[in-house]
Amino acid sequence: MTENTVPELQHRTVLLEEAVDALAIEGARADGIFVDGTFGRGGHSRRILERLSPRGRLIAFDKDPQAIASAHALTQSDSRFEVVHDSFATMAAALAERGVTQVDGILLDLGISSPQVDDAARGFSFRMDGPLDMRMDTTRGISAAQWLETASEQIIERVVRDYGEERFAFQVAKAIVASRSVAPISGTRQLAEIVARAVKTREKGKDPATRTFQAIRIFINRELEELEVGLRGAFGCLAPNGRMAVISFHSLEDRMVKQFLAARATAHQPDRRLPIRAVDLPQPEMKLLAKMKPSAAEIADNPRSRSAVMRVAVRLPYTPQAGAPK
């Protein structure tokens, strides 16, 4: 089945009301410009548009061609909405091209969507047999199968260890290299079986292939590199009193988000012995507003939401000082 004939798969937006509430789209702010960094199937975008005034504007980003196809229907029905087929890491440049220098709120919903996981042809899931692709943007880059065909054992081990936090990374890498010498690893179930034989102990309730699949997906899509660039770009585009909400789904992402926001919520104080007036002391650039997880009711309704963590911060109306992180 080709991408053009894949049926629309159901996606449940995680922390839908909480994330849009965090952007505080009310009063004069409803006239502002907002960014949805990961359109997905448009759950957050549609709710944001409901709260914007007729003068408001929403710009969304997504790498997935199927997500972009879904977004085009919205662009045709609502002139306040525009979608960019690219990563949110390109946000600063994409906004500048559109004459936008500052925005009032940015939402980043990281990770992969249910339609991506549930479509066997995309190769994200070890629960269904399909081609080992794993690309979020199927129009660019190499697939997971192509990478595994040529990557060295040492590189595979590093990726599985660092991005999957898999303690059996050495055994997994060795098993992959041994298997590909016999036959190419081209299917999801094939890879899952190789990993299952290499992982000696299993976490309760978790498939032994979970960490390896996560690691390869993150690597193939450069997710952590794009998150680092995207956070910096988002902060640079955020207007004073603008809000940023980031939903992450695994510890590596959440750690990066937490550290990024915390660094900007802390004033970098100079040597106390220096004769500096209190008014000239460095001020924090952001204020942390909330850390939130899905409710028990949401998790019961959508078990895939259980690992989600949302962090919310507001940009303070101060001029950045020397020594502050860029």
What are the DSSP calls for 21-73, one per residue? HHTT--GGGGGSEEEES--TTSHHHHHHHHHS-TT-EEEEEE--HHHHHHHHH
**Angle 210-220/188-198 helices, nearest 10 degrees?**
130
Question: Parallel, antiparallel, or unpaired: how do β-strands 238-248 and 309-315 relate?
Answer: antiparallel
- Per-residue DSSP letter, 89: G
Please, which residues have CB within 8 angstroms of residue 181's CB and are 6 or more apart in sequence?
none
Q: Is 11 annotated to bind ligand?
A: no
Of the candidates 202, 217, 48, 198, which has an alpha carbon nearest to the alpha carbon of residue 125?
A: 217
What is the chain's percent helix, strand, coil content, to nearest 5? 45, 15, 40
Residue 109 known to bind ligand: yes
Extract the tokens encoding 98: 């559109």
CA 63 to chain centre: 11
**Residue given tokens 């690219």 in the structure block:** 86
269 annotated to bind ligand: no
Query: Would the annotation count 207 as a binding residue?
Result: no
DSSP state of 90: G
- Secondary structure letter of residue 86 according to DSSP: B
Do residues 37 and 108 lie in contact, with contact meaning Cβ atoms separated by under 8 Å?
yes
Residues 80 and 75: their CA atoms lie apart, in Å, by 8
- The residue ranges of DSSP E strands in the chain, in sequence order, are 33-36, 57-62, 81-85, 103-109, 238-248, 286-292, 309-315
Is residue 88 annotated as involved in ligand binding?
Answer: yes
Residue positions in the annotated binding site for S-adenosyl-L-methionine?
Answer: 42-44, 62, 88, 109, 116
Residue positions in the annotated binding site?
Answer: 42-44, 62, 88, 109, 116
